[in-house]
Chain A
Amino acid sequence: MAKEYSYYPGCSSQKGASSSNQLRSTQAICDVLGIKLNEIPDWNCCSASIGYAGGGELPRLALSARNIALSEKHHPNQDVVATCAACWLATRETNDRLTENKELFAETNEALKEAGLVFNGQKKVRHMVEVLIEDIGFEEMGSHVKKPLEGIKIAGYVGCQTNRPFGINGESFENPMYLDKMVETLGADSIPDYDKKVACCGGALMFSEPEKSQALVKEILESAHDSGADMIVTPCPVCQMNTEVYQDAINAKYGTKFNMPSVYYSTLMSVAYGQTAEQAALSGQVIRATKLEEIADK
């Protein structure tokens, strides 16, 4: 029987949006693993970590509370699951803060009433990686590997918000190992001492402070390159985009020659599971992951 979850996809995963390739590859691996993602009906944006100029604390909490309330209403007994780091963080933070703070709980519910909804605080809010590690487990994840990613060296870039402040599976914030373990599980070589694995890519400040953020990404790429990485893997849509699409700009500014693919763990898994390039969403790579394409086409 399929394991069912109340799924919060988030804005960037929608059709034609920047991490639509993450959604496609996630869907593909869920089919293999017997995971059913039920989309929360009429979900809204979580305001990520950048809505704060216009949105005060309570309006921002209300946004995430609305999603949880919709999940409580339509998918009782299913954990809320998000694939996007910012979606997970905002939703879980809201869930925690409202259940811990009676005043905020009451005020948020007063606002939610306008949308005909109630937040009860009955949900667990989880990241997709938690589902994979805790509910599926490394052993089962490995058991579906049909085409081990042999000979590919991959820098596991965990980034910020999939890691802090909540962490995955009780691991350390400074040196989480789960992404390296996933890489190894798929038959590829990890770089456990990749020193930029939890460094920041600039997040949303890539848009408002591009030079400062690109300087951070340059260091993330440099460290991966110098560690002998063929590609970077990340769980986060912002990390993925920031490490991939600004490489030309970084090369132009710093005289580097980066051409480093940056992929989602779901793309790696899908290829290792013997799925097609289409299912793995390899066409979503701005910098093509040719080594993965070769395996997928085999």
Chain B
Amino acid sequence: MKYRNNFLREVEANVEEGEWVKRCMQCGVCAGSCPLGPHWEHPPQEIFMMIRAGKREEVLGSDSMWMCTSCYNCIARCPRELPITHIMHGLAHYATRLGLVSENQQTNKFAQRFWNNLTKKGRVNELKLGLSLYFMNGIPEGIKTSLKMQKVGLGMWKTKRMDPMEILGGHGCKDTSGLQAMLKKASEIEAAKKVKV
């Protein structure tokens, strides 16, 4: 039997670096250091407090952790050395696993596409990733974005920093089957460790 609330224990068991959450001292240096600070509904220290208060839906359904740019300012400055960036990534991943992310969460969509892109051949295909990004909100929106981004694309193409031929396959690892088997195994090990709280 444990006295602390279930959600804190769930986060400790199932979220990357989740065992650090209880160590937050609520100073707010992370919030003040975050480049997207103005856009967070709940800054990190508030997320940590909400976890401690058992606000499961509010935390996992929140947009906040998806605002993380991975700048590591919060980590560098946290007086208690919490790996805040990793906890945010961990919460974002856990919310995705549980299907609690809103359908329109842009960074979730992009991050998912990035992962799918890289695991296909072991290396990111920038062209395909870019196109999938433009069209991730549907075809009409995609055409609008493509037109808006035309000049950027042209600049990248002219400077040989974008290769239209990548659409036909492009770069990749040789041992993709080994790599994919490794990733599958890693996911299985991780899934087996998840605790139902």
Chain A interface residues (CB < 8 Å from chain B)? 11-12, 14-21, 42-45, 47-59, 61-63, 66, 107-108, 110-116, 160-161, 163-165, 173, 199-200, 202-205, 207-209, 212-213, 216, 245-246, 248-249, 283-286
Contact = CB atoms under 8 A, between A and B. Distances in A.
A200 B69 contact: yes
B168 to A, nearest CB: 12
A12 B161 CA distance: 9
Given A19-B161, A44-B122, A51-B118, 16 more contacts: A18-B126, A20-B160, A44-B118, A52-B115, A56-B93, A56-B187, A59-B186, A59-B187, A61-B186, A111-B186, A160-B72, A200-B69, A204-B110, A209-B107, A249-B148, A286-B159
B73 A114 contact: no
Interface in B57-100: 67, 69-73, 75-77, 85, 89-90, 92-93, 96-97
Nearest to A11: B124
Contacts of A207: 110, 133
A249 B85 CA distance: 29
Given A160-B70, A160-B71, A285 B159 contact: yes
Nearest to A114: B181
B190 A59 contact: yes
Contacts of A55: 93, 115, 119, 183
Contacts of A283: 159-160
Top 6 nearest A-B pairs (CB, nearest first) are A16-B163, A54-B115, A53-B111, A49-B70, A164-B72, A115-B178
A164 B69 contact: no
Interface of B: 16, 35-36, 39, 67, 69-73, 75-77, 85, 89-90, 92-93, 96-97, 106-112, 114-116, 118-119, 122-124, 126, 133, 148, 151-152, 155-156, 158-163, 165-166, 171, 173-175, 178-179, 181-187, 189-190
A210 to B, nearest CB: 9
A12 B114 CA distance: 13
A216 B34 CA distance: 11
16 contacts: A21-B159, A21-B161, A44-B118, A44-B123, A49-B70, A50-B70, A54-B114, A55-B93, A55-B183, A57-B16, A114-B182, A160-B70, A164-B75, A203-B70, A245-B152, A248-B152
A110 B185 contact: yes
Contacts of A165: 72, 75-76
Contact of B178 (A59, A110, A114, A285): A114
Nearest to B83: A165
A85 to B, nearest CB: 10
A275 to B, nearest CB: 18
Q: Which of A14, A21, A107 has the most CB of B within 10 A?
A: A14
